[in-house]
Amino acid sequence: MSPARVIIAIILISVGVFFSIVSVLGTFRFKFVLNRMHSAAMGDTLALLFVLLGLTVISGLTFTSLKLAVIIIFFWIASPVSSHLISNMIATVDRKKVLDMCELIEADNTTKENKKEQEKELK
C-alpha cells in the first residue's frame, strides 16, 4: 500500500470524524426536535460518506470497495428520505408547536404580526 493512499484515507476519515462531531454538537445545541433531527441526519450522512470513502481508498479497487459504494448509495438515499418523512409528519401533526418553538423561524426575522397571521391560518 502506497503512503499517498494512506495519507488520503487518513484525511478523508478525519473529515468524516469532524463532521460526525459537528453533528453531535448540533444535536445537543438545538432545542427543537426538528432542528436536532436535521443536524443529525445531514451530519451523519456526510460523515458516513467521508469515512467510507477513506475506507474505499485503503481497500483499493476490490469487491470490498464495491460493497462500501453500495452502502454509501443506500445511506445517501435512505437517511435523508426517512428524516424528511418523519419531520414532515411532525410538522403536519403539530404545526402550532412548530411555529412556536422552531429556532429557524425565529432567526428568519418574523415579526409578531406575521406570527399572528400564521396562527390565524392554523385556526
User: Measuring CA to CA, which residue among 81, 108, 86 is closest to residue 33?
Assistant: 86
CA distances (Å), 113 to each of 16, 117, 118, in order?
Answer: 43, 6, 9
Q: Is residue 117 part of a domain?
A: no
Across residues 34-46, what is the average pLDDT?
Answer: 84
Residue 24 falls within a domain, yes or no? yes
What pLDDT sits at residue 19? 94
Cα–Cα nearest to 68, from 42, 48, 46: 48
Tell me the percentage of the chain whose pLDDT exceeds 70.
76
SS3 12: helix
Q: What is the pLDDT of residue 26?
A: 86
Q: Say how far apart CA 73 and CA 49 lie, in whole Å.
A: 9
Reading the block at residue 13, the C-alpha cell is: 476519515
- Per-residue pLDDT reduced to its tens digit, 61-108: 899 889 988 988 998 888 888 888 887 887 777 777 666 666 555 545
User: Domain containing 12: what range?
Assistant: 3-92
Q: What local confidence, expressed as pLDDT, does residue 4 receive?
A: 92
Look at residue 110 and tell me if it is in a domain.
no
Domain assignment present for 22:
yes
Q: Is the pTM of this model over 0.75?
A: no
Please count the structural domains in the chain: 1
The CB-side HSE value for 30 (13 A sphere, CA atoms) comes to 21
Dist CA 72 CA 74 (whole Å): 6
36 within some domain: yes
Rg (CA), the chain: 20
Residue 12 lies in a domain: yes
